Structure 1
Amino acid sequence: MRSAVLFGLLFLISSLALGQSKYRRAVAKPGDGVNTLLYRNGLNPSQHLRQFQQLNRANLTRRNGLIIGRTYLLPHRSAPKAAVKTTSRSKTAAATRSTATRAATSHGLSTTPMLPSKLFGPAYSPVPVRDRALRGAVYYLSPGHGGPDPGAIGTYGNSKLAEDEYAYDVTIRLARVLMEHGATVYMMVQDPNDGIRDEAILKTDHDEIGYPNQVIPLSQVYRLRKRIAEVNRLHARHKGAYQRLIALHVDSRSAGQNIDVFFYHHPGNALGLRLAKNIHKVFTARYKRAQPNRPYSGNVSERGTLYEVRNSRAPAVFMELGNIRNSKDQRRFLVPDNRQALANWIYEGLLADYTGR
């Protein structure tokens, strides 16, 4: 009898081990939330979150958060839906949907991606549409500087770090995430050959162009005037849609000053204030989880002097991602996973703003 019980226990243990061995695994990195970990591994949280929590219950915090350095089991990807045989009725329904889509587009509710896949580079193309959580939303993404103006410059060893390169990499990563969830995205600055880069030191170049295909002028005033004129022209085209402008910059202060991410909006613009607060809320929560012993000092404030937030007809938020001259802040930019985490956190804030409108 005892040997039979022992055999049963051994069989159960081996079965559990065999079952777990069939799952892919992923290690939680600094800045990861469950959603970020799932997205990075090609999984949609809306479909896989519950199963992930069940698989990893023993390795999650009390609030179902990740523990940095722990290995987590990943749910299996959902099987594709079976093809449906086309009938005259389904053809009619498809034609109706097509007509509705054209009608929505004519009223500014397009969810057609406005960015070519090649803009993301070969390693990140094409862009899969994972869900339609942001369908109907239109985003204008404006990375700081570009072209003849590299922006703030930091030093890392013998290398120079240019603000425009790191702001662009976070922005193009954000663009990809937004497109994965059905948003219409315009990159107001585009680099034809950089794509998303996974190097620590991003090479400085000056070949960026302004949307749709304009030379970026050296004059900051003229440059921003042209950029926002394009945003406002597109804003009129998408009249009636939910539209937001996100401007991403990297600050330059004293090398000894370590700063958190700051959010600026135009005074009196309630929608811009709400947008900034929604993103700030996500950053506060993520920092608390990733660095529980360090208070997060980033805040939301008015900045009426910023040209982009003052003149954009789309409600806007202007973000300073850190101090490129500070060695601690530089880790926020040099590690590609950290740049992706910044993009993912911004997306989560944008999603909260869109769904709560």
Structure 2
Amino acid sequence: MAFKKITFVLIVLFLISAYTLSAQEKAVPKSGEGITLFLKRHNRTGKEHYKQFIELNKNKLGKGNTLRMGVKYTLPPLQKNTAVTRRKNYEPLFGKELARYNVTSSELKDACFYLVSGHGGPDPGAIGKVGKTELHEDEYAYDIMLRLARNLLMKGAKVHIIIQDPKDGIRNAKYLNNSKRETCMGSTIPFSQFRRLEQRCNKINGLYKKDKESYRRALFIHVDSRHKGKQTDVFFYHSLKSEQSKQLAKTLRSTFNSKYNKHQPGRGFKGTVEKRSLYVLNHTVPVSAFVELGNIQNSDDQKRLVLSDNRQALANWLCEGFVTDYKRTIKKK
């Protein structure tokens, strides 16, 4: 009898264990995903979920804890604390120190933004030099884009960060290290320029169909490359056919002009607004604008990029421009 009881207990424990393992959620990673993005897509963020994932899948991971394509990984159980699974006013892409933010106003309560930093992944974009140090366009555009995203969120807006790097966050260093980690919201960025542009436009348009906000705008952030002796102010492009796109670009430009008049009186601001047949402006559904932050080859323009206070100022002014455009647009409706 004792032997039968022990056998029964062992069978029950085995069945419980088997049920627990089978009940655990499993998933296959997408191309280009690392563990952090993979877990984030399944609403599992934070160090605890990461550690549990490593422990559950240590025999399935590649070198350096990389994910293998086609492998089904066991996901750690969702924690009951919603503050862990999906934190309010928390965006890990901003980095540890700035991930948490407070909504300080409702100025952009019914607004939605699609923010795209230029290039990324296999394409660093334009490359400038300070001495022997290289400045890569995609890194500086990305940092400024993140700062802008955080500003917009703090004013109550919804923000889609289209190009993402799970590691960098907002950085205050002068010289930003280049990487090829950037993805288009988790999807690998193609090497082909056409495919890159098509990918981000498709992503924006797909999100746009689901969003219901009355004010929806896209911004493409780049840094130009010209002869190193050519100093340029921030300038803007709008689409050929959209009056709202033109108005947005003009409003952003006007905001920069007023800021320069205030902070550098007598200097003058020569940033321009022009229409241009760019793929991203022609193929995105939401009203959009394209901004060039300066000439990455020019020493004066480089100061606009390498100093973190200047990068923050650029983000602040772009945000103020959006607030002005939003108020004007909503007032007309």
Maintained 8 Å contact 2:236/2:289: yes
Change (3 A) 1:115 1:164: farther
| 1:195-234 correspondence runs (5 A) | 195-211=169-185, 213-234=186-207
Residue number among 119, 129, 141 corresponding to 2:115 in the alignment: 141
Change (3 A) 1:272 1:113: farther
Are 2:239 and 1:260 aligned?
Answer: no
Maintained 8 Å contact 2:225/2:296: yes
**C-alpha separation in 2, matches of 1:183 and 1:114:** 13
**C-alpha separation in 2, matches of 1:323 and 1:240:** 35
Measure how far apart 1:293 and its partner are.
2.5
Maintained 8 Å contact 2:151/2:319: yes
**C-alpha separation in 1, matches of 2:87 and 2:290:** 23
Measure how far apart 1:292 and its partner are.
1.8
User: SS at 1:124's partner residue?
Assistant: coil
User: SS at 1:142's partner residue?
Assistant: strand
Residue number among 153, 157, 180 corresponding to 2:154 in the alignment: 180
Aligned to 1:328: 300
**C-alpha separation in 1, matches of 2:274 and 2:248:** 12
Measure how far apart 1:239 and its partner are.
4.2
**C-alpha separation in 1, matches of 2:190 and 2:244:** 31
**C-alpha separation in 1, matches of 2:239 and 2:87:** 28
Measure how far apart 1:115 and its partner are.
8.8
User: SS at 1:177's partner residue?
Assistant: helix
Change (3 A) 1:170 1:115: farther
Aligned to 2:47: none
Q: Show CA shifts across 1:258-294 (max 9, x none).
A: 0001110011201111111111111001111222222
With structure 2 as the length reference, what TM-score do the two structures score? 0.71
Maintained 8 Å contact 2:112/2:213: no
Change (3 A) 1:135 1:344: same
Change (3 A) 1:187 1:113: farther
Aligned to 2:41: none
Q: Show CA shifts across 1:198-225 (max 9, x none).
A: 00000011101102x1001111100110
Residue number among 300, 303, 310 corresponding to 1:338 in the alignment: 310
**C-alpha separation in 2, matches of 1:125 and 1:113:** 10
Aligned to 2:271: 298
**C-alpha separation in 2, matches of 1:225 and 1:254:** 29
Residue number among 260, 271, 275 corresponding to 1:287 in the alignment: 260
Aligned to 1:192: 166
Maintained 8 Å contact 1:173/1:196: yes
**C-alpha separation in 2, matches of 1:248 and 1:155:** 20
Change (3 A) 1:207 1:228: same
Which 5+ residue runs of structure 2 have no aligned equivalent? 1-85
Residue number among 206, 220, 223 corresponding to 1:247 in the alignment: 220
Maintained 8 Å contact 1:113/1:184: no
Q: Show CA shifts across 1:223-282 (max 9, x none).
A: 110110111111111146311000000000001100001110011201111111111111
Q: Which runs of 4+ in 1 moved over 4 A?
A: 112-116
Maintained 8 Å contact 2:121/2:182: yes
RMSD: 1.6
Moved more, 312-321 or 124-133: 124-133
Change (3 A) 1:158 1:201: same
Change (3 A) 1:351 1:327: same
> How many pairs are equivalent?
244
Maintained 8 Å contact 1:114/1:186: no
**C-alpha separation in 2, matches of 1:208 and 1:200:** 20
**C-alpha separation in 2, matches of 1:236 and 1:190:** 21
User: SS at 2:143's partner residue?
Assistant: helix
Change (3 A) 1:114 1:183: farther
**C-alpha separation in 1, matches of 2:213 and 2:133:** 46
User: SS at 2:293's partner residue?
Assistant: strand
